[in-house]
Structure 1
Amino acid sequence: MTASSAPTPATARRPKAVHVSIVHRSTDIRIFHKQCRSLAAAGYDVVLYARTDQPYDEAGVSVRPVPEPRSRAARMTVGVWSLWAPLLAHRADVYHFHDPELIPLGLALRARGRQVVFDAHEPLPSQIMAKHWIPAPLRPLVARITEVLVRVAGRGMSAVVAASPLVEGVYAGAKRLVVVNNFPILYDDVSAESHPDIPYDERPRGMVYVGGLSDLRGLASMLEVARVAGARHGEKFTLIGPFMPPELEARLSDPGLADVIDYVGVKKPAEARRLVSEARVGLILQIGPEAYKKNLPTKMFEYMAEGLPVVASHFPLWKGILDDAGAGVTVPPEDGQAAAEAVSRLLGDPKEAAAMGERGRKAVHEKYSWEPEARTLLALYDSLLPREIAAARTR
């Protein structure tokens, strides 16, 4: 090849990345809003296979639906392997898988010489023990099988991306391991999804929680907070997210809750973030599973990014983060009365609550934002590209 015909940044093809999840929705914050959009903004041709009703393009990402099997067993078998031919047809430079069910498919692609990254979102296999849909007697067996999958993924994939230091420990034997923390995007720096910053004393909402609503995520304590602190201060508790299982929504009809709960259902990430920005106290009262006590609390950072003081579970890691930033307080998550009193103190002292919120916002900007994590992800991707494509990107 002559010098005049060598690829240049202007003529070399764009590197291609294909992300895949058969579990997560196409709007998943970590997968779509953080990883896929960051890659697209950096010049990658990005395709995302995930749960959605129909294909669409957004923010430089081509989103395509995965099959919607009738059962989990079908999802893990037919649903996985039905993707084999479409994925191969893309001839992507990097494939990025987000579910343990996809590990065998990823290994098959590796056997064909493809670069495959496995994204470890959770601390498997200990997290398996809290899966309500797995019969309790079977959970130890499933956890042991998952241990084998973890080892195989670590040794067989091109790289493992861990969502937190806790997950990093689970995959310590991986051939290549990179931590890409699940810190929040600072939307103020992205402009397209910015929303007005409402002064603390003008915020129209009292308390807020966003995420799955279940017993393990402190639903009982949050309802007690609404009954006590909400009634005491004339404030409603805004709940955003799905009930897990759906039958738990019936608890909202309990006496005394109708006037203090504002359940808005599941919202798109940008809308959920806007609702959070309108509140004055954010709650994260996770109870279990045990492994989560050592996991980075993404929700906490999202509250802090919007200037909310936080009332969180009294886990050593979480307490250390809040104490270091001066951004909130911790309580025993099973003690709804203690949580209610903590929230009540914040609602009753708006000056100190506002100061906590600002200290939390400052800590997120300085320590806990997505932007440095995106650079780590891009560095990994660039290292996996064919030499000529990687060279063109550095010119």
Structure 2
Amino acid sequence: MNIPGLEATGLMEAIDDRPRRILVITVVHDPRDSRIWFRQIDALLRRGWQVSYAAPLSDERPLTTDHLGPEERQRLRLIRLPRARGRNRLRAALSARSLVRREQGRHDVVLIHDPELLAATWGLQIPHLVWDVHEDTAGALAQKSWLPNVLREPVARAVRQAERWAEERFTLLLAETDYQQRFRKAHTVVPNAVVVPGDVLAPASEDRVVYLGSISEARGSHQLPQIGRMLRERTGGSVKLEVIGPTYDEQSTELMRSAHADNDLIWRGFLPADQALARLHGALAGLSLLQDTPNFRSSMPTKVVEYCAYGVPVITTPLPRAAQLVERGRAGLVVGWDSPHEVAAAVLELAAAKREAAEMGRRGHRLATAEYDWSRLSQRFLSELESVVGRSTARVERAQPSHA
């Protein structure tokens, strides 16, 4: 683009000097989702981007910005959207579509985190849209109680078609290497990672085993009261089970409340990511009890990586990726599906062998540092978005008429 009377390089420097702007949208995830809020948005703000974050914000669970500095807070704008829940998803999708139509021209990149937002953007010309693929959506439909069984297969096929449609039009980021099998082109993989502490602590003198993450039957919540009860009965209460995470259905909520009241476990509910991760320091073990579902089968549970990062031995069900990491790194123990007795026995084994448990934790920490440290992997995420901005800018310049 040539403008008489101006040095082209000076003009481009002025363009490059302005903060890059991004619109981040989710209507499904909790606004405090660790991948979105504590990792990606945090990295963008610290890089100097201006971030508009549109999410189902709640007065009951406010979004705190204590982990951000004053400059980062000034570059952050929050936008409230309805939440997509069960079959009540249309209002959220229409609100998101209206937002994108209104806001996209003010941003260099639009970053979406939910597959339903693909439908919300249908027909809109958004050359700078990025979809962060968190899960195997078609596989996850098998767990959705709100979707009738007769509709699950046709909806799954529609999701696969939507993925192929999105691949031809937008930039995709993948949370797992295995997700690449669903797509024809190669896409950048930004794994679920964690800021790995520089050192780890030995197991605490007060034995404590931790479950960290969302609580649902598919994640093994029905086993937690049994595990806690067995530990209490077999150790006289010296080994405690601490559960940190939110529930999203009445059944899981009542299960946790009852187990907490019976002293079978300590349920702390939702804690912000920094507070939740701080509770891992010194724990005897961390539990990952995910079931064998299509969505989980190809994923690395974030909690497994978090336990390793904080030097906590992992006790996991035999999901392929989790089991492979734990066994390769000799960072914990693998137990059977739906086997609370085996889980309790593994905890007691670690409690009786503190030195070996501590060594497992150190090996896990070394593995997380080498392969899952967000301090390093965030550069891959930022570089991909900056590349999108570069491609969008080049398209705009080619579309401008040149002047002799």
- Which bin holds the TM-score, normalised by the shorter protein? 0.7 to 0.9
Query: Size of the alignment, in residue pairs?
Result: 376
Q: How far is the alpha carbon of 1:305 from its aligned partner?
A: 0.9
1:100-138 deviation digits (Å, cap 9, x = unpaired): 1110334444x2x53000111001211211222212222
Please give the alpha-carbon distance, in whole angstroms, between the structure 1 residues aligned to 2:296 and 2:91: 26
Q: Could you tell me which of 191, 194, 198 is aligned with 1:184? A: 194
Please give the alpha-carbon distance, in whole angstroms, between the structure 1 residues aligned to 2:260 and 2:12: 69
Q: Could you tell me which of 53, 67, 89 is aligned with 1:73? A: 89
Q: How far is the alpha carbon of 1:325 from its aligned partner?
A: 1.0
Structure 1 residues 1-395: aligned runs within 5 Å: 1-2=6-7, 5-8=10-13, 12-53=17-58, 58=65, 59=68, 60=72, 61-68=76-83, 72-88=88-104, 91-109=106-124, 111=125, 113-157=126-170, 159-170=171-182, 172-174=183-185, 177-186=187-196, 188=197, 198-202=201-205, 204=206, 206-233=208-235, 234-252=238-256, 258-386=262-390
1:226 and 1:257 in contact (8 A); partners too:
no
Q: CA 1:69/1:295 → structure 2, altered by over 3 Å: closer, same or farther? A: closer
Please give the alpha-carbon distance, in whole angstroms, between the structure 1 residues aligned to 2:219 and 2:166: 29
Q: Which runs of 5+ in 1 are unaligned?
A: 190-195, 391-395
Q: How far is the alpha carbon of 1:56 from its aligned partner?
A: 7.6
Q: Which runs of 5+ in 2 are unaligned?
A: 1-5, 395-404
1:93 and 1:386 in contact (8 A); partners too:
no
Please give the alpha-carbon distance, in whole angstroms, between the structure 1 residues aligned to 2:265 and 2:298: 30
Q: How far is the alpha carbon of 1:180 from its aligned partner?
A: 0.7
Deviates more, 1:314-323 or 1:296-305: 314-323
1:286-321 deviation digits (Å, cap 9, x = unpaired): 113134122112110101111110100123332221
1:338-363 deviation digits (Å, cap 9, x = unpaired): 11111110122111111111111111
Please give the alpha-carbon distance, in whole angstroms, between the structure 1 residues aligned to 2:128 and 2:9: 30
1:21 and 1:50 in contact (8 A); partners too:
yes
2:27 and 2:84 in contact (8 A); partners too:
no
- Matched to 1:224, the amino acid is Q
1:123-155 deviation digits (Å, cap 9, x = unpaired): 121121122221222211221221121111111
Deviates more, 1:337-346 or 1:370-379: 370-379
1:193 aligned partner: none
1:155 and 1:173 in contact (8 A); partners too:
no
| TM-score normalized by the length of structure 1 | 0.86
RMSD: 2.7
- Matched to 2:99, the amino acid is L
Q: CA 1:136/1:184 → structure 2, altered by over 3 Å: closer, same or farther? A: same
Q: CA 1:389/1:314 → structure 2, altered by over 3 Å: closer, same or farther? A: same
- Matched to 1:38, the amino acid is A
2:288 and 2:303 in contact (8 A); partners too:
yes
| TM-score normalized by the length of structure 2 | 0.84
- Matched to 2:90, the amino acid is A
SS across alignment from 1:24: coil
SS across alignment from 1:288: coil
Q: How far is the alpha carbon of 1:336 from its aligned partner?
A: 1.3
1:282 and 1:303 in contact (8 A); partners too:
yes
SS across alignment from 1:78: helix
Q: CA 1:132/1:277 → structure 2, altered by over 3 Å: closer, same or farther? A: farther
Q: How far is the alpha carbon of 1:7 from its aligned partner?
A: 4.0
Identity level (%): 25
Q: CA 1:6/1:79 → structure 2, altered by over 3 Å: closer, same or farther? A: closer
- Matched to 1:33, the amino acid is F
Please give the alpha-carbon distance, in whole angstroms, between the structure 2 residues aligned to 1:328 and 1:338: 14
